[in-house]
């Protein structure tokens, strides 16, 4: 099947809309992940689930892509900075 120019344009609009949606979802997950990791009662598996990741490993990879550190390291840094601020 040969695509007409209008079909090609529609496909590219749909593709750019999908990419924009993915970028927005990624940004929201990144922001909410910080809030969830600040709560020591939530396990990393629970954080991954609450953010809608398929498994904790997928969350771990995404978090490392965002912050260049692991979720565990981020949580430890946050905890250390809270203790330093309260001292």
Superfamily of domain 5-86: Homeodomain-like (1.10.10.60)
Per residue in 48-61, pLDDT (tens digit) is 999 999 999 999 99
Per residue in 69-83, pLDDT (tens digit) is 999 999 999 888 876
Average of pLDDT values for 24-41? 96
Dist CA 36 CA 83 (whole Å)? 18
Could you tell me the sign of the dihedral formed by the alpha carbons of 82, 72, 46, 35, in that order?
Answer: positive
Give pLDDT, residue 8.
60
- Contact residues for 38 (Cβ-Cβ < 8 A; gap 6+): 75, 78
Domain locations in the chain as residue ranges? 5-86
Tell me the pTM: 0.75
Give pLDDT, residue 2.
46
10 Å Cβ neighbour count for 68? 9
């Amino acid at each position: 099947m040969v695509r007409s120019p209008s079909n090609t344009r529609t496909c590219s609009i749909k593709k750019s809309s999908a990419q924009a949606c993915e970028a927005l979802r990624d940004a929201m997950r990144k922001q909410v992940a910080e809030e969830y990791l600040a709560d020591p009662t939530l396990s990393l598996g629970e954080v991954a689930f609450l953010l809608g990741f398929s498994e904790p490993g997928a969350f771990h990879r995404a978090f490392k892509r965002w912050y260049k550190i692991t979720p565990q390291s981020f949580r430890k840094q946050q905890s250390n900075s809270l203790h330093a601020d309260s001292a």
